[in-house]
């Protein structure tokens, strides 16, 4: 690990484990008698999704989408591109979008609208991290792990230029690494 890149550890591995369990319990309770589709947004949410689904105690289906509004930049372009679409229809299904971080809200706003147009019965959002200071559109977050400050974040699935995803914690990245 490149510990020199870390500015500060914001959320420890233990804090993440505790909160993920709580989120899994909450989702399990809210969806009793239903079989939601847990929709992971690649690549960042894969670590969170893997831990989360082990804490969900009801039947679920899993699908993935890959979308981008960043490219290789550290700032969102605002244009959402679908890189990998769903494998299955969402028509008449309860969908839980699992995201690593909500920043501007543009990507999730686009995805939620798209899934509703495709006939989803319901669409809820579960995010590990919320950065409300950067929001450009209003997004209702149904399940949220942690609110974080407006800093560049790495670890637990989040990357900069495809690095740092494997850290078991969430940390801020020193500016000289991404500027």
In the set 103, 140, 142, 159, the catalytic residue is 103
Question: Strand, helix or coil at 155?
Answer: strand
According to the model, what pLDDT value does residue 62 have?
98
> pLDDT tens-digit profile of 7-66?
999 999 999 999 999 999 999 999 999 999 999 999 999 999 999 999 999 999 999 999
pLDDT band at 70 (very low <50, low <70, confident <90, very high): low
Give the separation between CA 140 and CA 118, rounded to whole angstroms: 19
Please state whether the predicted TM-score (pTM) of the whole model is above 0.75.
yes
Burial class (CB in 10 A: 0-12, 13-18, 19+), 108: buried
Q: Which run of H or E residues covers position 81?
A: strand 81-84
Count of domains forming the chain = 1
**CATH code for the domain in which residue 139 is found:** 3.40.50.2020
For residue 65, which of 91, 99, 40 has the smallest C-alpha distance? 40
Residues 78-102: pLDDT tens digits?
A: 678 899 999 999 999 999 999 999 9
Confidence of residue 1 (pLDDT cuts 50, 70, 90): low
Active site residue 103: yes
DSSP-assigned letters across all residues of 14-57: HHHHHHHHHHHHHHHHHTTT---EEEEEETTTHHHHHHHHHH--
Domain that holds residue 167: 3-177
What is the mean predicted confidence (pLDDT) over 156-163? 93
Phi, psi of 41 (to 5 degrees): -95, 115
Residue 2 reports pLDDT greater than 80: no
């Amino acid at each position: 690990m490149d510990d020199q890149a870390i500015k500060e550890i914001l959320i420890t591995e233990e804090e993440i484990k505790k909160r993920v369990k709580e989120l899994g319990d909450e989702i399990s309770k809210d969806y009793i008698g239903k079989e939601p589709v847990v929709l992971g947004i690649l690549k960042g949410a894969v670590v969170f999704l893997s831990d989360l689904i082990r804490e969900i105690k009801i039947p679920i289906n899993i699908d993935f989408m890959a979308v981008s509004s960043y490219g290789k930049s550290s700032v969102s372009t605002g244009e959402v591109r679908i890189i990998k679409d769903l494998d299955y229809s969402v028509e008449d299904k309860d969908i839980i979008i699992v995201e690593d971080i909500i920043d501007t809200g543009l990507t999730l706003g686009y995805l939620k609208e798209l899934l509703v147009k495709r006939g989803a019965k319901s669409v809820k959002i579960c995010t590990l991290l919320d950065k409300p200071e950067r929001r450009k559109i209003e997004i209702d977050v149904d399940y949220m792990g942690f609110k974080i400050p407006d800093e560049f974040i790495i670890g637990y699935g989040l990357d900069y230029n495809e690095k740092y995803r494997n850290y078991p914690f969430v940390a801020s990245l020193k500016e000289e690494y991404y500027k």
